[in-house]
Structure 1
Amino acid sequence: MLSVQVFLSDLQHKKQLDVAWREWIGEDSATWPQRAVVGAQLDGGLLVEMVALAFR
């Protein structure tokens, strides 16, 4: 995975996102993809939306 854009409905949830991120991606930040986290108004009651760019 090269990069992930994360859209949160409430930036107060970023700490919870960081916990889930480490469980998903791993603890070693040297292996993480680039990440951007921004606040956004999401439709349908969504709390988070992600756009991932990967290359194989």
Structure 2
Amino acid sequence: MTFKTLTVATVLIVSGLALTGCGNTIRGMGKDTASAVNATQAAGQDVERAAQ
């Protein structure tokens, strides 16, 4: 293997790993946001029930 080939292969592997990490982070943030929305809705319903 030449140095150039090894460099290109390394860059591709590192880029792939970085993109995978970003995808996992985005999915995790989506789940966290959904949980926060659900908790906010539940709290609003609790307040509504308490006010009745």
Q: Point out the structure with the larger strand share.
A: 1
Where relative contact order (Cα < 8 A, 6+ residues apart) is larger, the structure is 1
Which has the larger Rg?
Answer: 2
Report the TM-score range of the alignment, normalised by the length of the smaller protein.
under 0.3
| TM-score normalised by L of structure 2 | 0.25
